Structure 1
């Protein structure tokens, strides 16, 4: 995937060629233009991620170009360049909506860093706009562009119409009920009820009555008959959340219902046939729990024909900025408060955290950020993935070398024994800073 699609505009052909060489070597897709009027006609704002333009050009200035581009697409980031150190022009450019302003001769590494932030913001805005246009789409429920979440959506669409009982596994806050509702809503049972049962929240003394219902006089205090949740769900889906908390004595009866599709209310000899899909969800390792005698192995094996595993947030870090922005916008609309888009520095900090509470924790942080009380969470002692540990170790070594070299990437590259271009790429990827 390209690092970003960039249009570079300058009336000096040599500068265009040099910029294209550097940016393409850094992973961007670049088109260059020496005629600003021709550039204005050629730039497709639907596919362009960012425009970099000189300010002082014959025929059409960078400020005029900015104004005309924003008439078509006000969210398109435009970075303006000048060789005159003109502060009033810079101020005017920023007020006109320029994303950033750089003085020539600009630092190529700084431009790459600014472009990374601009492209990330552009893609966030684009994804949010697309989600707003398709509010009932699966992508609006399970938000993200990471391979893990893309594969999860594909699996849900594949399984939605296959009427098989299944298990959803994942850490707390990963969205197990969201996934279960999607399996229901995008499948053939969508017209039937979706009945969510939190097995940890129902007192054991009334669990059986809640599930199976009862006839009048079935037990002391049962003054009338009551339909249970399993019968109420007929034609739809039953979702057992935190199924590991279901009382062990009740698991045998639930297993029989799943196998026979028959419910017998308490105090009754009649059997009621039901047509229900069963989905269980757990944050525990049910195989381990069953081996330890805390969960029935036969119920585990009955549900785990399909085991849909949800990825933790740390395995899809590229989705954190998008999720946070979407949750913040929804909170701003709900609370009637102004939306404050996260800065590039804040997005970088968000992406570096462990988020042990996963999407639920991130959503809470986004909502607090709109209200105005959202310090970044401290890292939990959770074990980092090997790639994350290696990246942090590498960043520490490079940061130390840059400090020894007084910020010079050329000197730091010599100290580390690697080419300067390789070091520059690592500095950009790891979001470090060099001065020369």
Structure 2
């Protein structure tokens, strides 16, 4: 098949084979027996490889009796397989000399490693063993339950973590994307072993698996490694099975804005103002990236200058988007003295409204573009970032946008585009959260 440049390329390719070139790196995609998808990006001159095994299930895909199970499985897959004990897994990770870890999100879970090129077969074998042959012993679950409860307690002591976790629920309401990724103390404490193993059987199957790798990797060799490792782990990859379709949940139905105050005995309050925003497929997302940079993305941003530099009301303040196929939010955060929480909240809102009033300068848009261009360039230097882009493109977005095209779209954003989008956000219903002592709750 001929090679071609990637602009915005759908990944549902007839026959499953795809070849493209992006910035000199060869990207390939194949569908293996069992519906396993393999995507690689061979980067010239790279001497390391990053490989990840992804499933398209996150906290938004849990049943009501399984809340927290996706994150629980991430922990438990390190606790032993049919062929390796937990200690042997740990020893193998250290022996490979690179990094082996995992991450759970609202839409995906993945297990990944970054190693020097000659150790890629060992990393693939270890990850496949963990994903396909996990023991999921009930005794291990009970032991790890305590670890996860301690992790949740650690985050619950952090006002900023609590604010970020709860703001999604305020904006998204009962939609599954508003759930906390790790579940709650109550759901984790009550999670049954049978529910956990049922969630594993639903999500961890050949047709649900995506293997993504970037760096010093040969596509055909990796495909052979994946099939061999999965077979040794006990998976039956029957030829002709189709990949699982991408999960598409119901669209978010935004309700009335909500304000919340959560008491915590902390020295610094965390405040967030957030509102509904665009989806991750909206062509205005590049304008949103520019808006985010101008409003709260750096030391010259509106929030940093107005809240920190001119008034000294916060050490950390920034804005952030949270975009999904089903909907999105846009938020502004600050950590401040409890006595200043109300003033800081009002000041953040004023910064957004000033942009909505058309006060966006061409110099700010140029700076935002240059930040996006730098982010793209720095991401290209990281094999882990390249690998993650492949996994998310396959499981979440369904298409691959080249780095050159991303820069072109960022370049095309105008000051008017940013101001118009800011006006849309400013008109949206705003939810607010304050986490801190009682002194932070007065408005």
**TM-score of the superposition, structure 1-length normalised?**
0.20
Larger radius of gyration: 1
**TM-score of the superposition, structure 2-length normalised?**
0.20
Bigger share in strand? 2
